[in-house]
Structure 1
């Protein structure tokens, strides 16, 4: 056996020993009162925890110095309120089987939360170190929240190591007919690895154990050289990730797996199946099927591609710069039809709309885009690391819209209706738009997640700095063939 295999086996054994010694009894929560779960005291359980100094020493050889640039107060406040979502809209009961599960959404009118999503959990795990470094929570509060959440994750229902997209808040079991999701599992794994690099010790051991259980090769078609897009126990696999989108993270995570790897051929096939397009003042770039901005952002929230070139000398960070420029140009074009858009109001992405949740898109796109004048602030804000000179004026505009504000920052989306010059042929919502505009009642976890992580990366590069320390991530880069300029 190789040294790498033996090391991986040792990690799994150590994880098992830790659970045998320290895991609390995993009983089912009998209360169905979600409000009780969400408002349970966030104070850490009365267990002995490592000191900040001891854990920091175990995490990195050289002490990490957090340093952030100055930003307008409203930018920092949106980041803080987005963090608050992940700290509060969560099962905070340490005795619950669903401890640490983060709700997919929260209704600001009824003050109720929906089922948890594992992608929100992943963003929530990454949120904790951000909260600590910004002094929004204490180190020990964060440590206990993360450790308890990882214990919940390790005991959750899985299929070949993959997790259901939606789970209920109190028991962390499959919600409704939710699919076993490869992309949402990957987002959660990114949060797991981020937390492991930050805290080290038991959290890192447990986190890497969770990662190593994911059977990436099971969710992969050797015939098509593509990952399947979805799976349910009732219907099996459906669709393929057959072009560039938010799944860029899959190829890196899967390549580095000790036991269930999927090699570079999957990445190569993704590029062969993708198309380059151009719109407005952008250069040509690899374009996603729906043209939604989140497809150019989610992998970048964790993975630092700023100076990474693949074997074709393609740079994915620049790819997202071009996609952001094109999205703004498309918003300017559509301002003749929709009041929502302008040079400081742009960035279509998936969000709630007057007629329900939709993947709103921008040109260029591979498929037919959806547009009806609805805009999510997280679309442009998620591109703040790519084109800050375009996003900051947009941020200022969003801040000026009083009806867009909530206790967790900007509401998910808004639609100001049609202009007087709107073409009779444009798509419009079925639901009438009020004179003062339509505003979503909800905030959505994944939209708050991309907002939080990208603002922090813009301010400090903190998520990138910590996440990229992972040997798993570094090995994935090497196996895909990335070269880091300056190394």
Structure 2
């Protein structure tokens, strides 16, 4: 198993044939299908539109029974897997609801009502030594196996959910009595996660535990990848905290995480899981940093602002250099990360795109969610997508993936874990809202202090 991506296990689950979900007739430049001239938006209007349209994924198309975020949404097959919700994307959705309240997409009362519904669901859903499963049945709260032996707790997805719970706690803690009660519930929910139990009494965290298979998956959480937030939250836990040595020997591999490699003049800083000196998929530098602010974050291994900015710039420059000569890669069309995908033979599926796994497929979330790191460069991509909105903009924001190389193939599908970072990271770029909420939490500060971070 490739250790760095929770999504690799999804490939078979997401595969479909040539005319499967999301198929769209190709756009052929110069044909009658040429897009009409579209009046450009200002940068502020562009960010407004992207946040508002993408939020619909978590509001209009959330699971009806729980209010939680669906794993995926196919507009052409709206009932497909409609009860499969995912804990990580639900955490991103919690943060998106905060943004929506602040931006006026919904009223505060509407937001509070939805948050209460989601919390009631999480409170009664299956938990495994405090951790939620990756997939949950939105109607019953029962675990849905993500793979054959992954039918229990998923500590990384749980960390993504907890990141959202902490932001909600901070957002509501000084509000009305109803809001204070919700803040307290959020606090209780996250503090029930038994992080240290997921070490197996070793100095490393493990990703999965199953009541039927125990720790048989045996996947250690080691960096650099998307799991930094798991170690920080594990250290922040008042009742189930890990040791500093667990972080140093687990995440940082006793210092082996440090990299001396650079590409295009940008130091990589930390070795990316998977071994690429060009960096892994861009979600490595998104998921942990929706609440965790990398701007002033550093420890003995590196400066995390340099890590995320350089990772993004390397990814972008790789697309511009375009060593595989894919049609359409440019300064306006870049961004490789995990998303729906297609292959040269026309088959569809899912892939963790990166410079070392480049299939000619661009994922809008890659550049959009990188906007705090590359604001001008990310906005160029957003404007490009909007100019092609007849193909790219659907009922819940920009579609999950496209390829100019393959006759402008577009997947008319969405993934919750790709939509959420767009809303949150645009807001962090604009106001720092989620960064400020998360970083002001006293338990988070204690965890960062325990692990020796400067922030």
TM-score by length of 2: 0.81
Alignment equivalent of 2:285, drawn from 274, 283, 296: 296
- 1:178-224 deviation digits (Å, cap 9, x = unpaired): 5321110000011111111111211121111111211111111444x
Q: Aligned residue for 1:317?
A: 305
Deviation of the 1:292 alpha carbon: 0.4
> Contact 2:291–2:437 at 8 Å: present in 1 too?
no
Deviation of the 1:274 alpha carbon: 1.7
- Find the aligned partners of 2:112 and 2:60 in 1 and give their Cα distance: 16
- Find the aligned partners of 2:273 and 2:387 in 1 and give their Cα distance: 33
Q: How does 1:403-482 map to 2 (within 5 A)?
A: 403-417=391-405, 433=406, 436-482=407-453
Q: Kindly tell me: are residues 391 and 439 of structure 1, through their superposed partners in 2, closer, same or farther at Cα, counting changes over 3 Å? A: same
> Contact 2:123–2:189 at 8 Å: present in 1 too?
yes
- Find the aligned partners of 1:284 and 1:126 in 2 and give their Cα distance: 29
- Residue 229 (str. 1) matches residue 207 (str. 2): yes
- Find the aligned partners of 2:75 and 2:191 in 1 and give their Cα distance: 38
- Residue 360 (str. 1) matches residue 353 (str. 2): yes
Q: Aligned residue for 1:90?
A: 62
| RMSD after superposition | 1.8
Range 154-163 or range 326-335, more displaced: 326-335
Gaps of 5+ in 1: 1-69, 363-368, 418-432
Q: Quick one: higher RCO (CA 8 Å, sep 6+), 1 or 2?
A: 2
Q: Aligned residue for 1:202?
A: 181
Deviation of the 1:113 alpha carbon: 4.9
Deviation of the 1:463 alpha carbon: 0.8
Where 1:483 maps in the other structure, the secondary structure is coil
- Find the aligned partners of 1:136 and 1:171 in 2 and give their Cα distance: 29
Extract structure 1 runs of 4+ deviating beyond 6 A.
Answer: none
Q: How does 1:271-282 map to 2 (within 5 A)?
A: 271=252, 272-276=255-259, 277-282=261-266
- Residue 73 (str. 1) matches residue 45 (str. 2): yes
Deviation of the 1:340 alpha carbon: 3.9
Deviation of the 1:172 alpha carbon: 2.2
- Find the aligned partners of 2:231 and 2:273 in 1 and give their Cα distance: 18
- Find the aligned partners of 1:394 and 1:319 in 2 and give their Cα distance: 22
Gaps of 5+ in 2: 1-41, 174-179, 275-279, 343-347
Q: Aligned residue for 1:64?
A: none
Alignment equivalent of 1:211, drawn from 165, 187, 190: 190
> Contact 2:67–2:118 at 8 Å: present in 1 too?
yes
Alignment equivalent of 2:199, drawn from 207, 210, 220: 220
- 1:274-306 deviation digits (Å, cap 9, x = unpaired): 242321231232132241000111111111121
> Contact 1:89–1:113 at 8 Å: present in 2 too?
no
* Larger of the two Rg values belongs to structure: 1
TM-score by length of 1: 0.76
Q: Kindly tell me: are residues 71 and 266 of structure 1, through their superposed partners in 2, closer, same or farther at Cα, counting changes over 3 Å? A: farther
- Find the aligned partners of 2:209 and 2:322 in 1 and give their Cα distance: 37
Deviation of the 1:334 alpha carbon: 1.9
- Residue 308 (str. 1) matches residue 297 (str. 2): yes
Q: Aligned residue for 2:87?
A: 118
- Find the aligned partners of 2:324 and 2:383 in 1 and give their Cα distance: 22
- Find the aligned partners of 2:172 and 2:378 in 1 and give their Cα distance: 32
- Residue 260 (str. 1) matches residue 231 (str. 2): no
Where 2:357 maps in the other structure, the secondary structure is coil
- Residue 389 (str. 1) matches residue 376 (str. 2): yes
- Find the aligned partners of 2:168 and 2:223 in 1 and give their Cα distance: 30
> Contact 2:360–2:403 at 8 Å: present in 1 too?
yes
- Find the aligned partners of 1:86 and 1:327 in 2 and give their Cα distance: 28
> Contact 2:124–2:141 at 8 Å: present in 1 too?
no
